[in-house]
């Protein structure tokens, strides 16, 4: 008999209870005991919901106060020395200091980057030669025991040891992190022994690194790790879980591991994993955990198609588990909460709770035959067909415009050196010009006014007057501290993608569709359900108002087409490049309108361009070709004198630097401070010719860095790139910070810029 299981469930709560609890703890409004109690209540709700859905194996340890990779860092005692941990259990304040820094102790946060090709961020583990590991957290065991007291024997989920090491970093040149594997494995052995004592039947070890390109050394490390762990498992069944793509050339190694279960993604790695399982066979001593329900997107499952796929698998039902393709933490919790959605659209959507039902229905059909669940299968078939022919999705004028694009539509009219000369003449900026990335603090007052406007408690005119006051304040502040290129602050925007989607055709929006981005930062991705167009200007009104308040240039601020695509739930009934091109054309119209309204500088942010890169290198060229072209389509309709900026953050640029250069943005700002200036090395090696603003301080931490610290970062950058290429800016937008942090930080930044500017003049 096939079993049903989950790989993880959203931990944020139906009403974002986790966000509210953690932020209350950080603010000192609740103590650690109350925070832990609220977390326990959330976990109990999650387990009961999965139990009610009829799932056979329910995950535990998928909960986290901040990030599951940081949880693993705490579990194995891999705490960097700077945080002052002296052994024993890693306490919550040390844990949060690693994740978000500490104002009290003036400690920076650890580096943060994207979790594979998702919009979730993880805290990057730090490794050094000869480091020791020890079991330093009871979290996985206490949560298993909590569920057991509720009568639920869960399947604990852990980040696998090899992926943990591969996802980390070291400050030591030429140090191989895998050299630490034999030191790390005894801690994992202790973990498995504890779970056996507690009565666990299955333990899931996530090794998603093996759906990306891996070396023979990596695969040998994986083989060695599970040979060691299999000797300590006792009666516990081990499941090695992959997701997000195909196993490819690692399949043979994965299939040969001495474990009892192997999880494969048959949604995002469908064809490759089918070829592996059908061609190379699936071992008879293992259970196949078949991920057939999409854990990363929100469209309903075609139950008939999933059942046909399962029928093609060369595995008997008694060696089969049905599961989502990944943890469900990447999707919202319940479509049923979305009472404001068009009923037709809602019938096409499946969030976490609905995906549980899909897993259960498929499992029942496998075990008892389709007749046992004929009604939901037939209902789903009707919904799939209705979506395919819905008139609300298809707009011929949009498709025709995409088809009419020419090669010249993604090229600026002159090359960068000439554009740079004209832009410098027009703007008259100093050496090391300063700016900010875009947004300013979304204070409680701003959020309160937005809610009041949404509820009709204040008129649109009153809301506009409120926003105008916010813009006046931020323009005045920027002038007063001496910034060179200003922004209007984006107070009218709840989210950098949502704002634009609300003003385009083809998008829909949820009220409760929150997913976690990092820590307590949650987003509500728009739903792209149809062909995209822009009915009217989206940002011109606020740009014109801001520019009317100052003689200094104000940037027009847009989110780029690739980021809008990658940070949305994207329709799956047409190729992603087609949808992205539609968005690019809509933004091109906006860029042209901003220029006509007087914008001399326009920023088109693409923080998610690297994030969308496929996990297999052989798939990169196709993605980068269309992604870069979409950015250029959006940016290339303006005159050479108009300066185009872009912003990219938390990405490894080394492997895609040629594509970044091909974007041909006049100025690019990047995250840099949190990665200790490592990102700049690649720009030196390739002789990057355009201008660049390496972030001089980390905005994701509440600490206020000193002017000396920022000047040192800027000096280091000037040692890598020519000083006349450099801009001075934070590493990201300031939306999530408080004014008490922003004001002194930016004053220090301007002070640092002036110091380095003077030194550069003296040197000349």
Query: What tokens does 174 get?
Result: 């030429």
Taking each helix axis from N to C end, the angle separating 576-596 and 396-403, rounded to the nearest 10 degrees, works out to: 90
Q: How far is CA 553 from CA 72, 97, 102, 362, 732, in A?
A: 46, 38, 35, 58, 20
CB atoms within 10 A of CB 740: 11
In this structure, are strands 515-518 and 521-523 parallel, antiparallel, or unpaired?
Answer: antiparallel
Rounded CA separation 323/302 (Å): 15
Active-site residue identified among 268, 488, 645, 700: 700
In sequence order, the 6+-apart residues with CB closer than 8 A to the CB of 193 are 232, 234
Query: What tokens does 17 get?
Result: 């209870």
Q: What is the largest CA-CA distance in the chain?
A: 83
**Which long-range contacts (C-beta less than 8 Å, at least 24 apart) are formed by 302-305?**
302/380, 302/381, 302/384, 303/358, 303/361, 303/362, 303/365, 303/373, 303/376, 303/377, 303/380, 303/381, 304/377, 304/380, 304/381
- Helix (H) / strand (E) element for 196: namely helix 181-198
In sequence order, the 6+-apart residues with CB closer than 8 A to the CB of 316 are none
* Burial class of residue 185 (count of CB atoms within 10 Å of its CB; 0-12, 13-18, 19+): buried
SS3 category, 712? helix
Half-sphere exposure of 701 (CA within 13 A, CB side): 27
Residue 214 has φ and ψ, to the nearest 5°, of -135, 155
Overall size of the chain counted in residues: 764
Rounded CA separation 702/637 (Å): 39
Taking each helix axis from N to C end, the angle separating 32-52 and 139-149, rounded to the nearest 10 degrees, works out to: 50
Query: What tokens does 440 get?
Result: 């300013």
CB 495 within 8 A of CB 523: yes
Rounded CA separation 507/533 (Å): 10
Concerning whether 748 is annotated as a catalytic residue, the answer is no
Rounded CA separation 740/510 (Å): 32
Q: How far is CA 569 from CA 120, 377, 563, 579, in A?
A: 14, 24, 12, 12
Query: What tokens does 264 get?
Result: 């494969």
Rounded CA separation 154/146 (Å): 10
CB atoms within 10 A of CB 695: 27
CA 13 to chain CA mean position, Å: 19
Residues known to be catalytic: 700
């Amino acid at each position: 008999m096939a079993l049903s299981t989950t790989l993880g469930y959203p931990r944020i709560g139906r009403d974002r209870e986790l966000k509210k609890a953690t932020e209350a703890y950080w603010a000192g409004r609740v103590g650690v005991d109350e925070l832990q109690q609220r977390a326990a209540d959330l976990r109990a709700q999650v387990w009961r919901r999965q139990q009610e859905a009829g799932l056979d194996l329910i995950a535990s340890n998928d909960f986290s106060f901040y990030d599951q990779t940081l949880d693993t860092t705490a579990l194995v005692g891999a705490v960097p020395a700077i945080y002052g941990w002296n052994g024993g259990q890693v306490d919550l304040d040390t844990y949060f200091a690693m994740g978000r820094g500490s104002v009290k102790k003036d400690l920076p946060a650890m580096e943060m980057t994207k979790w594979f090709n998702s919009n979730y961020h993880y805290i990057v583990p730090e490794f050094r030669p000869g480091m020791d590991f020890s079991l330093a957290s009871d979290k996985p065991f206490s949560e298993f025991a909590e569920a057991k007291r509720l009568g639920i024997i869960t399947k604990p989920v852990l980040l696998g040891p090899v992926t943990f090491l591969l996802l980390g970093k070291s400050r030591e040149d030429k140090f191989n992190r895998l050299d630490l594997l034999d030191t790390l494995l005894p801690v994992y052995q202790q973990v498995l022994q504890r779970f056996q004592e507690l009565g666990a039947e299955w333990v899931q070890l996530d090794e998603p690194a093996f759906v990306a390109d891996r070396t023979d050394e990596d695969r040998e490390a994986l083989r060695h790790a599970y040979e060691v762990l299999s000797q300590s498992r006792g009666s516990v069944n081990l499941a090695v879980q992959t997701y997000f793509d195909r196993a490819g050339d690692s399949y043979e190694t994965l299939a040969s591991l001495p474990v009892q279960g192997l999880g494969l993604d048959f949604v995002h790695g469908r064809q490759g994993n089918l070829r592996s399982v059908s061609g190379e066979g699936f071992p008879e001593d293992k259970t196949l955990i078949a991920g057939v329900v999409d854990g990363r997107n929100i469209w309903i499952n075609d139950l008939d198609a999933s059942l046909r796929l399962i029928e093609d698998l060369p595995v008997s039902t008694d060696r089969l588990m049905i599961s989502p393709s990944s943890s469900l933490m990447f999707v919202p919790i319940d479509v049923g909460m979305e009472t404001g959605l068009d009923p037709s659209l809602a019938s096409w959507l499946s969030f976490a709770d609905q995906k549980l039902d899909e897993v259960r229905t498929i499992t029942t059909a496998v075990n008892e035959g389709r007749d046992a669940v004929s009604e939901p299968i037939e209902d789903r078939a009707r919904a799939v067909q209705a979506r395919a022919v819905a008139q609300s999705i298809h707009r011929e004028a949009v498709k025709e415009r995409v088809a009419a694009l020419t090669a010249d539509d993604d090229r600026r009219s002159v090359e960068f050196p000439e554009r740079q000369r004209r832009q410098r003449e027009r703007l008259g900026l100093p050496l090391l010009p300063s700016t900010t990335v875009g947004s300013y603090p979304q204070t409680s007052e701003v959020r309160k006014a937005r809610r009041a406007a949404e509820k009709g408690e204040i008129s649109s005119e009153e809301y506009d007057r409120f926003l105008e006051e916010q813009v006046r304040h931020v323009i005045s502040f920027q002038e007063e501290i001496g910034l060179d290129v200003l922004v209007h602050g984006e107070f009218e925007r709840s989210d950098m993608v949502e704002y634009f989607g609300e003003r385009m055709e083809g998008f829909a929006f949820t009220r409760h569709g929150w997913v976690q981005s990092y820590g307590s930062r949650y987003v509500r991705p728009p739903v792209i359900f149809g062909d995209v167009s822009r009915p009217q200007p989206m940002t011109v009104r606020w740009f014109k108002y801001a520019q009317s308040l100052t003689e200094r240039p104000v940037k027009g601020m847009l989110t780029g087409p690739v980021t809008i695509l990658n940070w949305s739930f994207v329709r799956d009934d047409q190729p992603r490049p087609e949808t992205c091109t539609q968005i690019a054309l809509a933004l091109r119209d906006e860029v042209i309108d901003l220029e006509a309204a007087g914008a001399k500088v326009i920023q088109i942010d693409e923080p998610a361009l690297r994030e969308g890169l496929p996990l297999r290198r052989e798939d990169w060229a196709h993605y980068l070709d269309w992604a870069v072209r979409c950015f250029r389509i959006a940016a290339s309709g303006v005159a050479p004198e108009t300066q185009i900026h872009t912003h990219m953050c938390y990405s490894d640029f080394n492997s895609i630097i040629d594509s970044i250069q091909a974007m041909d943005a006049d100025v690019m700002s990047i995250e840099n401070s949190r990665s200790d200036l490592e990102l700049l090395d690649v720009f030196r090696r390739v002789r990057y010719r355009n201008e660049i603003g390496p972030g001089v301080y980390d905005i994701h931490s509440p600490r206020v860095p000193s002017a000396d610290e920022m000047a040192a970062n800027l000096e280091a950058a000037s040692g890598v790139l020519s000083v006349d290429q450099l801009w001075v800016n934070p590493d990201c937008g300031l939306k999530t910070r408080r004014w008490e942090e922003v004001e002194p930080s930016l004053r220090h930044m301007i002070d640092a810029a002036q110091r380095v500017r003077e030194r550069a003049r003296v040197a000349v």
